[in-house]
Amino acid sequence: MAPAIRDGVPLAPLTTLQLGGPARHLVEATEESDIAEALRWATARALPVAILGGGSNLVVADAGFDGLVLRIATRGRRFQPGGDATLVTAAAGEPWDDLVAEVVARDLAGLECLAGIPGLAGATPIQNVGAYGQEVAETIHAVRVLERASGEVRELPAEACGFGYRDSAFKRAPDRYVVLGVTFALRPGGPPALRYRELAEALAGLPNPSLADTRATVLALRARKSMVIAPADPNRRSAGSFFTNPIVAARLASEVAARAGVADAEMPRWPAGAGRVKLAAGWLIERAGIAKGMRRGAVGVSTAHALALVHHGGGTTAELVALAAEIRNRVRDRFGVTLVPEPTFLGFPPEFSWNAFAG
Catalytic residue among 71, 148, 166, 222: 166
Active site residue 159: no
Residues 280/245, Cβ–Cβ less than 8 Å: yes
H/E stretch holding 221: helix 211-224
Annotated catalytic residue, options 241, 287, 302, 328: 241
Q: Residue 292, SS3?
A: coil
Decide if 172 is catalytic. Answer: no
What SS3 string covers 41-108? Answer: HHHHCCCCEEEECCCCCEEECCCCEEEEEEEECCCCEEEEEECCEEEEEEECCCEHHHHHHHHHHCCE
Q: Provide the greatest CA pair distance for the chain.
A: 64
Q: Mark whether 166 is an active-site residue.
A: yes
Contact at 8 Å (CB) between 150 and 188?
no
CA distance to 55, 130, 131, 281, per residue, from 245 (Å): 21, 12, 11, 5
| Upper half-sphere CA count for residue 293 (Cβ side, 13 Å) | 2
Residues taking part in catalysis: 166, 241, 342
